[in-house]
Structure 1
Amino acid sequence: MPKSTFRCAKVAARTSAPQRTRLRAAALAAVVLSLLLTACGGGAAGNGDDGKKVVLTTFTVLADVARNVAGDKLTVESITKAGAEIHGYEPTPGDIRKASKADLILDNGLNLEAWFAQFVEGLDVPHAVVSEGVEPMNISEDAYQGKPNPHAWMSPLNVQVYVDNMVKAFSELDPDNAEAFKANGDAYKAELQAVQDQMTTRLAGVPEAQRALVTCEGAFSYLARDAGLKELYIWAVNAEQQATPQQITRAIEYVKANNVPAVFCESTVSDAPMQQVVGATGAKFGGTLYVDSLSEADGPVPTYLDLIRHDADVITKALTGAGS
């Protein structure tokens, strides 16, 4: 059987359990089937307009890291845009078409992109999980208890592992430029270590009594671990339903009991639940932190290194009162 015919049969036969709701999964499956059956009739070449091979990442943070490793040898794109909420993202037909034309797809893994797994398996495109080899921290509460916390990139130490995985994947994709990928990766890992050291030094200045990081999502476990901060969050992982009365009450009680001076929320979700905590406790809203997405180029965190610097600065100033 010709390869293209096999791919069509595979896609048509494959079924998957709904990741979020039955309606969403059914709609996505229909889109995937339509696009991939069309692709079986003759797809476009994977190379970009400039002749370089195309690497597609699931979100903007990975794209920035990948560009540092790829240099000018590959074209790197993100399937999601700046400001997108990664957990509940719903792929469009254009996203799937773009993925079918890529030469390599990178995703974070650790159950972050359940939405992407629904169609990536049906694509005849190499795929690499960049968190492979990272020691995950498990979520300790809510419906996700015992599952790995997917936000491993919030530790620059972990991102050094991401870089090694990217170097390997890029070298397999484009062997002629393997030495360049290795050199780029080594240089970027040095920058990651410098930012890690800056972050931990900066947060070490927070007095022991104020070393509590209270956020909307439990996305800062790796950062809190590295910086020696206690962590509490309203919900574990961004989902369709979040911020129950019980979760908000728990956060209020924690902030009161520990005299937490400031609380935070992430850029991709509403801070309304955390503002309820602020109103009930007198704690200050310390500011917006970035996790799942970079900002636009003219925003506060256009790169991953900027994201870590920004978050460390906002947390330190709010918990010490330096930003008042």
Structure 2
Amino acid sequence: MFRRTFLGTALASVTMSGLAAPALAQTRRPKVATTFTILADMARNVAGDRAEIVSITKPGAEIHNYEPTPSDLVGARDADLILRNGMNLELWFEQFLRNLGDLPSATLSEGIEPMPISGGSYRGKPNPHAWMALDSAMIYVDNIAAALTRLDPAGEAEYRANADAYRQQITQTVSPLRDQARALPEARRWLVTSEGAFSYLARDFHLQEMYLWPINADAQGTPQQVRRVVDAIREHRIPVVFSESTVSDRPARQIAAETGAQYGGVLFVDSLSEPDGPVPTYLDLLRVTSETILKGLSDA
């Protein structure tokens, strides 16, 4: 539903704040900074060798309430473009961008219909984790290609070809796993996590979602949150509960112990790992997270 082609609509859709000036003179490779590691990996796949891509936040960072350091500011100061997610994910970004001055930026979630957060102090605001759904990922890739083309028009053909190939890789990674999830018995199709970061994936995989807290910027693991999830697990006989890599696994393990559900392990959503870790790329993140969910729901 959300997919669009690169030419025309994608180029027209990406808001390029501050990029009214002529495109970058190609005396060097353009430098592009992203707000977190997932976007950096996606951008590298689209840019190829034509641009240098760096992430402001490091692998494993909690990006919702990230506090930029002076070295982060220095590292991004000579960037020609910053790519961010939007949807209120990077709460720290606006001040960071002001500190950098008049630096162009593009919002990669533009064109995606957001799912609203359903609880907590952020109720009704966009759930920012749209990159976890296949159709949304296609839009991210197109928006990256459009932003890079606006910065470096001479590279349009290369960016478009790279984007086409990368979209195919993402589809080939996700589609078989999504089909497996949709084929599970309906009673097992529950996804219980610490953060409500998997709404887009749950909708895509036809899973019913339950979580302790809606977003990591909110209160985490309160007695009321734990009790609500414990009651739901018992009512629906949910077999497994998961946690995420950037938060403590203690609340999820507590719930598993109290209800008799299995603890299914760690899911990755907000950040990639170091290169020698389990999810050094976005494709790895999609694959490992989906496989962990499927194993937990199938084996429990």
Q: Please, what TM-score do these two structures have when normalized by structure 1?
A: 0.82
Please point out which of 91, 99, 107 is paired with 2:76: 99
For residue 148 of structure 1, what is the amino acid of its counterpart?
Answer: P
Which of 186, 194, 203 matches 2:181?
203
The letter for the 2-side match of 1:99 is: A
Question: Following TM superposition, by how much is the alpha carbon of 1:205 offset from its aligned partner in structure 2, in angstroms?
Answer: 3.6
**Which of the numbers 226, 248, 254 marks the counterpart of 1:248?**
226
2:52 paired with 1:53: no
- Alpha-carbon separation, structure 2, partners of 1:201 and 1:121: 44
User: Aligned pair 1:67/2:63, yes or no?
Assistant: no
SS at match of 1:114: coil
Q: Which residues of structure 2 form unaligned runs of 5+?
A: 1-23
The Cα shift of 1:141 comes to 1.1
1:162 paired to 2:140: yes
Q: Which residue of 1 aligns with 2:124?
A: 146
- What is the DSSP-based 3-state SS (H/G/I as helix, E as strand, rest coil) of the residue aligned with 1:140? coil
- Alignment size in residue pairs: 276
- The answer on whether the counterparts of 1:139 and 1:236 sit within 8 Å (CA) in structure 2 is yes
The alpha-carbon deviation at position 163 of structure 1 amounts to 1.0
Instruction: Give matches, 1:1-324, under 5 Å.
Output: 51-122=28-99, 123-239=101-217, 241-321=219-299
Structure 2 CA distance, aligned partners of 1:148 and 1:300? 29
How far has the Cα of 1:280 moved from its partner? 0.9
Where relative contact order (Cα < 8 A, 6+ residues apart) is larger, the structure is 2
Deviation of 1:240 after TM superposition, in Å, equals 6.3
Q: Letter of the 2:259 partner, please give it.
A: T
Greater CA drift, 69-78 or 153-162 = 153-162
Distance 2:138 2:103 in 1: 25
Distance 1:145 1:108 in 2: 19
- Residue 12 of structure 2 is matched in structure 1 by none
CA–CA separation in structure 2 for the residues paired with 1:320 and 1:148? 31
Q: Secondary structure at the match of 2:246?
A: coil
Q: Structure 1 runs of 4+ off > 3 angstroms?
A: none
Which whole-Å CA distance do the structure 2 matches of 1:92 and 1:199 have between them? Answer: 38
Asked if the contact 1:100/1:124 (under 8 Å) is kept, the reply is no
Larger radius of gyration: 1
8 Å contact 1:88–1:240 — kept in the other structure? no
CA distance in 2, matches of 1:179, 1:75: 18
Give the aligned residue type for 2:67.
E
Q: What is the deviation of 1:206?
A: 2.2
| 1:48-74 Cα shifts (integer Å, max 9, x gaps) | xx9311100000000000000000000
1:141, 1:227 → 2: CA distance? 22
Output the CA distance in 1 between the equivalents of 2:289 and 2:76.
31
- Aligned partners of 2:244 and 2:94: how far apart in 1? 25
| Aligned-residue identity in percent | 53
